[in-house]
Structure 1
Amino acid sequence: MTEWNGKTVNVVARLLGSFSIEVDGQLADLGRNMTANAVKMIEIIFLNREHGISKNELLNEVFSDKVLSDQNNSFNNLLYQSRKLLQNSGMDGAKFIDNHRGMIRLECAENAVTDIEIFLGICRKADAAASRAEKKDLYTQALEYYRGPLLPDFETEFWVIKPGMVLKHYFERAAQYLADLAEEDDNYEEMYRIMKHADSVYPHEKWEIGRINALAMQEKYREAYEEYTKVVQYYLETLEQPVPKVLLDIYDRFREGITREVEAAGSFQMSTVRRDEEMEAQLRLNRAGGYFCQYSSFRDICNVLNRNIDKRGNSIHLMILSLVDFESNFRSMPDVLERRSECLKMSIHDVLRSTDVFTGYSSTQYVALLVGVKREDCATFHRRISVKLHELAGSRADVQYRIVAPDELEQILTAGEKN
């Protein structure tokens, strides 16, 4: 049993880090295939526990906008499977999922809660807390409760992106507050622990830099140097991007201690600076970047490449890159929206190769065509674009992506004409 809003609930859905349901404190059996559409439907319904979700919206989210030959049949089959899973889980109810006038809700909504609601509740209490001690205690609870990103199996799907980014920013705010507090108290061991935990939840964000700084402040120069080399190699070799200046500055601040502890540090740093300068110079030479064109031209290029893909032997991937409005207000601020959209356009341009093409898809989206890359390479392109966007528009600007399958290409292109 769990206390929530002054009452006891017996169903807790956990969507952070992975998906599971607890009924009366016992983990429910939802089968082995946790990415099945029936499970996905249950996840979406729990995500919309408070207000419900329309049948059409639910179908779009489950099937990712794929065209269904018989929507009603697909929905009824899926509803039956989802209800069966919930029945087997031990939840109380007759239908388990209520379908009333096109709105889909949990039958036991009043007796259920999600870990998202609990996490956000703790964070909001922390935000409102008057004393430092209470705020610290609540943010610590929030950090410990947060098991990971929202539904990572579906993190690139639109229905996960926005709530996922909202949760991420609440998590980041809690972690940063606690890390700053630890630094103020000269408790660098605690600062390192917080940064390490945050980095384990959201790798390759800003936390690794704070972690290195915390080690150096403890005069653990060898450990700091080992962390530093890993991060440098990640930027130069994995992302193929220059090393952030803030990271180089940390090394400069603690140069004396690091070189005293690690004999090879000086030569590594010289090599790092040289490679960093070479990469900057190369990027300046290659500023041509991705080719931006009007939507009609983009569609023609896509169609030609798609028709000749077998003959050419090249793979093509379509990426939809979307600005994330986790603040729920930048869309109502034309100047901010225009600025962030332009920054995203510049970021995509600078990261893509001259053989890649992209175009505007909506006021907050661009679609890019990548030729001759593997599907997993798209994640690397996204990370590079994200890093560049943060440089241009600040840390509160975020971008998420979705890879479009070849059989969705025509549908996506047609939809784009309407945007």
Structure 2
Amino acid sequence: MENTKVHDDLHTEVMENVIHIQMLGGFNMTYRGQPVMLGKSLSSKMLHLLMLLIYSRGEGIRRTRLLEQLYGDSDTEQAANSLRAMIFRLRKSLIAAGLPDGEYISTKGGVYMWTAEHVDVELDVEVFQKQVMAALEEKEPLKEVELLEEACGLYKGEFLPLMIADDWVSAANWKYQELYFKVLRELARLLKKQNRYEELLPYCEQALSRYPYEEWQLVKLECLTAMKEYQTAVEYYEQIAKESQQEYGIRMSDEMMEHYRAIRNMIQYEMNNIEEIQQHLRPDPNVFGATRCDYLTFIDIYRYIVWVLGREDTRAHLVLFTLIDREGEPLESSEQLEEVRQRLERAIIRSVRRSDLYTRYGKNQFLVLVTSTDQKGCHIAADRVCKNFRAANRRKKINVYYACRPALAVVGDSLKKNMGKNVKELEISEEPAAENAGEHAPENES
């Protein structure tokens, strides 16, 4: 019993004599449970030097590389003198910050090396890497899941994020990020196989908080679907679809849209008679102006209208509004883009009827489906949109251009020919417009 206690005391003493260094998610150093306060005593260049030496420990780093990293194109002799002085000050600062006495940095044959033989150093990236290797080599599925979860917990974020512009930091960051993704993919595979979606969801959300990539968005949707959280899944899809359009001007991928369709079809409504359903479907009579919808819904409605055109005496036109700069080119990212885009949307809402439908299409465009009117009436509505936009737009270097096309009905032989075949995706032609096809360039403005 006494021998066991002595062993535990020795183990605790050894563990306490360790410098713990965090580089994932930010730089932090602790010794015996206490933070090593280096920020005030070290310049940014000295901190950079310390991180390079610690990260390269075991192999060391050549003086020429240190000079290049820290001083760039500075005079070689002057830079070398500055480096020697900096290393001298760094040794003193480490001890003044609370680390035990020691040399810490040695040099031999033009190679500088971290040498703290009197104290151990635990580097989080090394611990993370070892955990990843152990997890991926494990053959027993339940044990592998446990090790993978531990590896995910060790990954705290980007490698030295405040220095990410440096080449060596960027390369190391990519390496650890890829390891994290590898772990997460394997963990997702195993948890899906074991139908443990509730356990997978938090890891997926953690990944999305760092890297909002479509790969993890799809996994989250899959988790919510498997958990029968259909309404939450639909709301999540619509949220990320809106953000993708507003921030990046891109539509969701075909895979994401198909997943969305599948989830929508799984929603179970509690209404069970036609009167209740009809009341639920009834539009709000107090809403005025054009009806907005997401692009996926717009596609469904457009295709429906196309089929109706083949059976009824109904007319419809598709209008594409594009924000342009003073040279007549489509407006790309600019400080004013969000502002003028909102003004154009308000102009559309004010200018067309509730029976007309519109959607955002890309970062600088809107699509409007105008029904029950001829081409002249469509142009009147589109011109009204442009007029209202120009009246509200204070950015006179930015204008709006529209192109109008009749919605093409599928009738007669075309209808028979297409029966039983897949309907092709709706595409907006980018070919030059034919003469009198309905394209209106903006008026010249000063």
Tell me which interval the TM-score lies in, with the shorter structure as reference length: 0.5 to 0.7
Partner of 1:267: 293
Partner of 1:119: 128
Question: Do the aligned residues in 2 keep the contact of 1:143 with 1:174 (CA within 8 Å)?
Answer: yes
Equivalent position amino acid for 1:256 in 2 = N
Change beyond 3 A, Cα 1:180–1:43: same
Correspondence list, 1:85-164, <5 A: 85-108=93-116, 111-164=120-173
Q: CA deviation at 1:259?
A: 9.0
Q: CA deviation at 1:239?
A: 2.1
Equivalent position amino acid for 2:88 in 1 = Y
Indicate whether 1:224 and 2:250 are aligned: no
C-alpha distance after superposition, 1:4-31 (max 9, x if no partner): xx99861121111010112123221112
Question: Do the aligned residues in 2 keep the contact of 1:38 with 1:82 (CA within 8 Å)?
Answer: yes
Identity %: 19
Question: Do the aligned residues in 2 keep the contact of 1:16 with 1:151 (CA within 8 Å)?
Answer: yes
Partner of 1:384: none
In 2, the alpha carbon distance for the partners of 1:33 and 1:234 equals: 43
C-alpha distance after superposition, 1:9-56 (max 9, x if no partner): 611211110101121232211125988111111111111112111112
Structure with higher helix content: 1
Question: Do the aligned residues in 2 keep the contact of 1:2 with 1:9 (CA within 8 Å)?
Answer: no
Partner of 1:241: 250
Question: Do the aligned residues in 1 keep the contact of 2:67 with 2:83 (CA within 8 Å)?
Answer: yes
Question: Do the aligned residues in 1 keep the contact of 2:53 with 2:113 (CA within 8 Å)?
Answer: yes
Correspondence list, 1:255-294, <5 A: 255-257=264-266, 267-270=293-296
In 2, the alpha carbon distance for the partners of 1:118 and 1:34 equals: 26
In 2, the alpha carbon distance for the partners of 1:101 and 1:247 equals: 57
Q: CA deviation at 1:96?
A: 2.1
Question: Do the aligned residues in 1 keep the contact of 2:20 with 2:121 (CA within 8 Å)?
Answer: yes
C-alpha distance after superposition, 1:294-324 (max 9, x if no partner): xxxxxxxxxxxxxxxxxxxxxxxxxxxxxxx
1:206 is paired with a residue whose SS is helix
Runs of 4+ in 1 over 4 A off after TM superposition: 6-9, 32-35, 258-264, 271-274
1:130 is paired with a residue whose SS is coil
Change beyond 3 A, Cα 1:34–1:83: closer
Question: Do the aligned residues in 2 keep the contact of 1:178 with 1:194 (CA within 8 Å)?
Answer: no
In 2, the alpha carbon distance for the partners of 1:188 and 1:34 equals: 47
Partner of 2:370: none
Q: What CA RMSD, in Å, does the superposition of the two structures yield over aligned residues?
A: 3.6
Of 163, 172, 175, which aligns to 1:166?
Answer: 175
Of 46, 51, 67, which aligns to 1:59?
Answer: 67
Equivalent position amino acid for 1:127 in 2 = L
Indicate whether 1:202 and 2:211 are aligned: yes
In 1, the alpha carbon distance for the partners of 2:10 and 2:38 equals: 21
Q: CA deviation at 1:76?
A: 2.5
**What runs of 5+ residues in structure 2 fail to find an aligned partner?**
1-8, 271-279, 284-291, 301-317, 323-328, 331-446
1:61 is paired with a residue whose SS is helix
Partner of 1:21: 29
Comparing 147-156 with 88-97, greater Cα deviation is found at: 88-97
1:254 is paired with a residue whose SS is helix
Equivalent position amino acid for 1:53 in 2 = I
In 2, the alpha carbon distance for the partners of 1:243 and 1:179 equals: 22
Q: CA deviation at 1:185?
A: 2.0
Question: Do the aligned residues in 1 keep the contact of 2:230 with 2:264 (CA within 8 Å)?
Answer: no
Question: Do the aligned residues in 2 keep the contact of 1:191 with 1:214 (CA within 8 Å)?
Answer: yes
Aligned residues: 276
1:134 is paired with a residue whose SS is helix
Equivalent position amino acid for 1:181 in 2 = L
The structure that has the greater radius of gyration is: 2
Partner of 1:314: none
Question: Do the aligned residues in 1 keep the contact of 2:103 with 2:116 (CA within 8 Å)?
Answer: no
Partner of 1:184: 193
Change beyond 3 A, Cα 1:9–1:54: farther
Change beyond 3 A, Cα 1:244–1:85: farther
**What runs of 5+ residues in structure 1 fail to find an aligned partner?**
283-287, 290-419
Q: CA deviation at 1:170?
A: 1.2
In 2, the alpha carbon distance for the partners of 1:162 and 1:2 equals: 39
C-alpha distance after superposition, 1:273-306 (max 9, x if no partner): 69xxx9xxx9xxxxx99xxxxxxxxxxxxxxxxx
C-alpha distance after superposition, 1:138-177 (max 9, x if no partner): 1111111111111111123211122211111111111111
Change beyond 3 A, Cα 1:143–1:75: same
1:11 is paired with a residue whose SS is strand
Correspondence list, 1:10-89, <5 A: 10-32=18-40, 36-63=44-71, 65-68=72-75, 70-89=78-97
Question: Do the aligned residues in 2 keep the contact of 1:14 with 1:21 (CA within 8 Å)?
Answer: yes
In 2, the alpha carbon distance for the partners of 1:2 and 1:27 equals: 23
Equivalent position amino acid for 1:215 in 2 = L
C-alpha distance after superposition, 1:208-240 (max 9, x if no partner): 221122112222223222321232233322222
In 1, the alpha carbon distance for the partners of 2:260 and 2:37 equals: 50
